[in-house]
Amino acid sequence: MASVHEIQFEGKTIKYDAKAVHSWSVQKKLTSGGMAAYEAADIILCGKSDEVAALLDDDADKMMELLTAIGSISSAAKN
């Protein structure tokens, strides 16, 4: 079951699944690279990674910054 939270990033409100961020299988996909990493990003971003990328001007660096920010928030909240 998803645990949907929101983050403000680049002036946009973006939804993410906080539970997925801590999922072993999602983390494994994210760190394995290739298509698996894109699948993990899609899971974390509630199936909306392409839409989120479009909101961020299709900028891969911004997408990585967003995922890093989500990970940082989720880690801090878990501790």
For the segment 13-68, what is each residue's pLDDT rounded down to a tens digit? Answer: 999 999 999 999 999 999 998 999 999 999 999 999 999 999 999 999 999 999 99
Residue 68 lies in a domain: yes
Residue 1 lies in a domain: no
Quote the Cα angle for 76-63-68, to 5°. 20
Residue 10 lies in a domain: no
Residue 65 lies in a domain: yes
Quote the Cα angle for 61-65-71, to 5°. 145
Residue 71 lies in a domain: yes
Count up the domains in the chain and report the number.
1
